[in-house]
Amino acid sequence: MIAYLVRRLLWLPFLLLIIAFITFALGLYGPGDPVLVMLGQHANPEAAARVRHELGLDRPFLVQYADYIWKALHGDFGESLKYRGQPVGRLIATRLAVTVQFNAVVIAVGLATGIPLGILAALNRNNLIDYSIVLLTVAGISLPVLAVAPIAMWFLAARFHLLPSGGWGGILSRRIIMPTLVLAIGPAAVFVRQTRANMLEVLDQDYVRTARAKGLRETAVIVAHALRNALIPLFTIFGLMLGGLVGGGIITESIFGIPGIGRLVWDAFTARDYPVIMAYTLLVAVAYTMANLFVDVCYRFVDPRIRYG
Amino acid sequence: MAAVEKAEQRQPWREFWRRFSRNKLAVVGLVLVFVMFFTGIFAPWLAPYSYTDQNLDAVEQMPSLAHPLGTDELGRDQLSRIIWGARTAVIIAPTATFFGVSLGLLFGLLASYYRGWVETLIMRLADILFAFPGILLAILIAATVQGRIEAWLKGFEALEGFVKAGFAQVLVVIVALSAVGWPGMARLVRGQVLALREEQFVEAAWAIGAKPWRVITRHILPNAMVPIVVSVSMSMGGAIMAEAGLSFMGIGIRPPTPSWGALIIDNYSFWRSPAAPVLLWLPALIVGAMVAAFNFVGDGLNEALIPG
């Protein structure tokens, strides 16, 4: 177990080095010039060259890369090119706080609706309730946010003025309701589908029959015996969603005007603000890898049958 | 005698269809897929107007006899633009899927065939691409190759028209989606091959002296086909959704080339307008319906092709 953990963790630095390399290369050879974005398209070539030199952008690729890695190892992710003078670390931390809060609410709402609906569907196997829930789930998994958002906004904001169309005022503000409603559909549908499938499988198991045979009340059978085992596989999805917490939807945050990290990255991309893009990519890669590791390790405790070599 | 033989003959296609059509949603999905391909292929004959025809005397009109789905802010016929959007989808979805799947198949087979450092290299590369935020990678790749592809196509004078018709943008989207799409397929293929190589029929093939490549292509791959076919169907829907996402970010298909993604983006500012249902929801729902349709077909294929 320890050896397994160490092996997995040792891979992380290499992963980050390569990801940084790819992003760096795409940034350098990609279109657009951050200096021209800063100074305007018709900037004086001499001024542009001076700024480029000041920023160290005229050095060879590998030197810039090595310099970046060296500073990043010391916790310095450079300065944003768009917001001059702002360290990327602080810029990201502020936006990250918004994204994490928002995504946490979305996942919580997804869990709170998905699991009960999944149980309900499983307990009503193959009747009208089950079919309606399954159909809703299918729609929820297929419909992209890009499709649901305008419809929800039209009805709830434009037509009937029930809710603000988005924006950010913290998790207790009314503004969060609309984006949450739209975004929680996906996770909720995933949870419904998994809970239903797992419940159906578990309800056929011998130990559930045993529990019934010894005369337990149906609620006790379902809650204590079936549900406990049915929820274990959900842990994986939940864990990976936690990893996605920091990602932030580049598209969704733009649609709903949430000043999170996705929005930051989008702005950074249009301004060719590569220090921000670099830091974001590394952050997401770390979160993704750690979430995977966390799920694998925790699984061992939740499901003692699993062993890692 | 002949009648008996006929009755005993296996009819794989009929059997397949019998099992596939048990899943009603899969049939609905298949119909939608056919409609999309039909509309896309015959767009020039189906569309009442050209997708660029502007009628500035009739902008932002509600549906009427002349314009069944109304017109947009430049007076372009919405129905025609949706029909032409199907053509873009019909080009992008199969091509991006084809390249993504071929790359994934190739890398997955190479990894499971050579094992050792080849496998380590390929699977680590897949790990890296997985850890990359997907849409951002697609955006970065698209932005990087865009200028190059356009410049390259301009080198061929005969292709001038293609570039003007938005062909370069389509190519950019295809490159980006294939680059992001292959690792999933590579993992799937490798997993299948590694599981199958322990099976007895593979051992038997080795025993009669079959060459490795033959064992893989003739014995292992056909048995790994079901999950691959299913995932091909699902990634077609994924490609349509991803194109919409890229276009939304201004990277994919840009006006005036019509694509469903571009239609959503073009008309996003109409979200509070009374015309929103036709201008904005309709393309958005079509994207959703096509994603669902390809998923249904995938589910149906899965049920129909797995024995038992």
Residue A59: Cβ within 10 Å count: 14
Average pLDDT over residues A152-178: 80
Closest Cβ–Cβ partner in A142, A151, A250 for B136: A250
pLDDT of A176 > 90? The answer is no
Chain A residues touching residue B248 (CB < 8 angstroms): 146, 251, 254
Please provide residue A80's backbone torsions phi and psi, each rounded to the nearest 5 degrees: -65, 140
DSSP letter (8 states) at residue A79: B
Q: Which residue of B has its CA nearest to A289?
A: B131
SS3 B77: strand
Q: What is the rounded CA–CA span in Å between residue B263 and residue B269?
A: 11
The whole-number pLDDT of residue A305 equals 67
The whole-number pLDDT of residue A62 equals 84
Chain B residues touching residue A285 (CB < 8 angstroms): 131-132
Distance from CA of A261 to the nearest CA of B (A): 12
The whole-number pLDDT of residue B99 equals 92
Q: What is the rounded CA–CA span in Å between residue A246 and residue A280?
A: 9
B167-196 helix and B116-131 helix, angle to the nearest 10 degrees: 130
8 Å CB contact between B239 and B177: yes
The whole-number pLDDT of residue B1 equals 46
The whole-number pLDDT of residue A173 equals 78
Q: What is the rounded CA–CA span in Å between residue A79 and residue A59?
A: 17
pLDDT of B180 > 70? The answer is yes
Mark which residues 231-270 of B lie under 8 Å from A by CB.
237, 241, 244-245, 248-249, 261, 264, 268
Question: Is residue B256 reached through a cis peptide bond, with omega within 30 degrees of 0 on the bond before it?
Answer: yes
CA neighbor of A151 nearest in space, from A181, A174, A175, A176: A181
pLDDT higher at A196 or B169: A196
pLDDT of B28 > 90? The answer is yes
CB contact under 8 A, B284 and A144: yes
CB contact under 8 A, B281 and A29: no
Most B CBs within 10 A among A142, A153, A276, hence the mutation to make, goes to: A142
Q: How confident is the model at residue B35 (pLDDT cuts 50, 70, 90)?
A: very high
pLDDT of B261 > 70? The answer is yes
Integer CA distances (angstroms), B285 to A142, B96, B240, B255, in order: 10, 22, 12, 20
Number of Cα atoms under 13 Å in the Cβ half of residue B107: 22
pLDDT digit string, tens, across residues A75-109: 788 878 777 778 888 888 988 999 999 999 999 99
Give B154's contacts (C-beta < 8 A, 6+ positions apart): B160, B163
pLDDT of A153 > 80? The answer is yes
The average confidence (pLDDT) of chain B is 82
8 Å CB contact between A56 and A67: yes
Residue B203 token pair: 């051992």
pLDDT digit string, tens, across residues A130-144: 889 988 888 888 888
pLDDT of A30 > 90? The answer is no
Beta strands in A156-235 (DSSP E): none
pLDDT digit string, tens, across residues B55-105: 777 677 777 777 777 777 776 778 888 888 888 888 889 999 999 999 999
Residue A76 token pair: 């310095």
Q: How confident is the model at residue B196 (pLDDT cuts 50, 70, 90)?
A: confident
Percent of chain B with pLDDT over 90: 9
Total beta-carbon pairs less than 8 A apart between chain A and chain B: 118
H helix intervals, chain B? 2-8, 12-20, 24-41, 43-46, 78-114, 116-131, 134-154, 160-164, 167-196, 200-207, 212-214, 225-248, 260-266, 276, 282-305
First to last CA, chain B: 30
Q: Which residue of A has its CA nearest to B261?
A: A146
pLDDT digit string, tens, across residues A216-264: 888 888 888 888 888 877 877 888 787 777 776 788 888 888 888 988 9
pTM over 0.95: no
pLDDT of B13 > 60? The answer is yes
Query: Residue A83's beta-bridge partner residues?
Result: none
Average pLDDT over residues B270-284: 81
Average pLDDT over residues A194-204: 88
CA A239, distance to chain mean position in Å, is 11
pLDDT digit string, tens, across residues A56-78: 777 888 888 888 888 888 878 88
The whole-number pLDDT of residue B308 equals 56
The average confidence (pLDDT) of chain A is 83
